[in-house]
Amino acid sequence: MRVIGLKHVASWRTVAAAVAAQVIVPAMGSAPAAAQSMTPMRGEVKSFNDRFAVRVFPGNPYKHRIRVEVRVYDEAFNEVAADVVPRETMIGAEDRRSVLVMVPFGAAKDRKIRVCAESVPFNSQSARMKTQVCGRFYAQRVQ
Amino acid sequence: MKAVARKSAVAVALSLATLFAALPASAQLANVPFTGAVTSTCILTVGIPGVLSPDAGFTSLASTNPGGLAGTVTVLSTGGSFSVSADAPSAFTTAPAGGDTGVDFFARYQGSGSTTIGDTPGTTPTPVNAGVTLLSVNLRAEKSSGTFPAGAYLTEVVVRCE
């Protein structure tokens, strides 16, 4: 698991404050229960900033802890450069974690992205099963 | 007789009035509301990881070959419009020298439970109904030329719900 340095934490706080002030994420309203692999899985975001944020909650449905990585993809499943805090995390049995994802708009006025929680629960066999639960989000830049 | 009966009736009425007056006045029904919400989500739980086994000619490694085993994944959907798919890998994560060259991978899956899915190519997404669907995932690695050399092989199929 990657250890987040103090500098990283500080920047996260700054960005989180900015996000709270400038971004609307309607899907954040309901608190998901435990044992869910990721919530929310759909959402629309309006942002006054040059980037937008989504908070997702990867969950661990297993009886043992797993390592979960959160990645961001576009519609064609090309990976998108985004700030994900934390990008990689250990989640205890039947627990969930809050992960903040921030994506730049670039020159676009809107963006469709996939936020995917990925995990590899078993390593022992010749054909491992990697699970990937992806939420689809549509973001609009409000000017 | 009538007077006696009237007095008795009055006495009973007074007794009942006294009895009810002594009871607490708060014996009333009240509804206690409960609210709940189930988030629309998809849960993937790996049951059995797959096992690849070689065919008689050692030109393919597949979970459908004798000795192989399909991987299983349980999909729990609480609603929404979610689809599942299974991406084949592009290479082995671990393979002996020469084992990873000229290899093509093919993933297929089928499902039972709340959603019945026939044998489907992994790249084809299939909508799942709300409830629990058990996916059986097969992987096949074929060598375009030569045979698979001896050694340990490891790769992974990505089962996706979105």
pLDDT tens digits in sequence order for chain B, 162 residues long: 555 556 666 555 555 555 555 555 567 899 999 999 888 899 998 888 899 999 999 999 999 999 999 999 999 999 878 999 999 999 999 999 999 999 999 999 999 999 999 999 999 999 999 999 999 999 999 999 999 999 999 999 999 999
In a domain, B15, yes or no: no
In a domain, B29, yes or no: no
Residues in chain A closer than 8 A to B134 (CB atoms): none
pLDDT at residue number B74 = 93
Percent of chain A with pLDDT over 70: 70
ipTM above 0.85, yes or no: no
Cβ-based neighbours of B96, under 8 Å, separated by 6 or more: B149, B150, B151, B152, B153
Contact A121 B51 (CB under 8 A): no
In a domain, B5, yes or no: no
Out of B41, B51, B63, whose CB is closest to A38? B41
Pair type for strands A127-141 and A42-47: parallel
Distance CA B148, CA B70 (A): 20
pLDDT at residue number A39 = 86
In a domain, B30, yes or no: no
User: All domains of chain A, ordered by start, with CATH?
Assistant: 6-141 (2.60.40.10)
* Mean pLDDT along residues A42-62: 92
Task: State whether residue B144 is helix, strand or coil.
Answer: coil
In a domain, B12, yes or no: no
pLDDT at residue number B84 = 96
Largest CA distance in chain A: 52
Contact A126 B39 (CB under 8 A): no
Give residue A4's identity as a one-letter amino acid code: I
A9-51 pLDDT, tens digit each: 334 443 443 333 333 333 333 333 333 478 889 999 999 999 9
In a domain, B70, yes or no: yes
Distances (CA, A) of B70 to A28, A102, A125, B107, B108: 37, 38, 11, 10, 10
CB pairs under 8 A between A and B: 112
Distance CA A67, CA B160 (A): 17
In a domain, B33, yes or no: no
Tell me the CATH number at B123.
2.60.40
Q: Is the peptide bond before A61 cis (omega within 30 degrees of 0)?
A: no
pLDDT at residue number B38 = 87
Q: What angle do CA B57, B158, A99 make, to 5 degrees?
A: 160
Q: Which chain B residue lies closest to A59 (C-alpha atoms)?
A: B43
Q: Give the range of the structural domain holding residue B111, as residue numbers without chain letter.
A: 42-161
* Mean pLDDT along residues A120-135: 75
pLDDT at residue number B128 = 96
Residue A5 pLDDT more than 60? no
pLDDT at residue number B22 = 55
In a domain, B46, yes or no: yes
Residue A2 pLDDT more than 80? no
Count of domains observed in chain B: 1
CA distance A109 to chain B (A): 24
Cβ-based neighbours of B119, under 8 Å, separated by 6 or more: B108, B109, B110
Please give the mean pLDDT across all residues of chain A: 76
pLDDT at residue number A4 = 33
* Mean pLDDT along residues A60-80: 90
CA distance B29 to chain A (A): 32
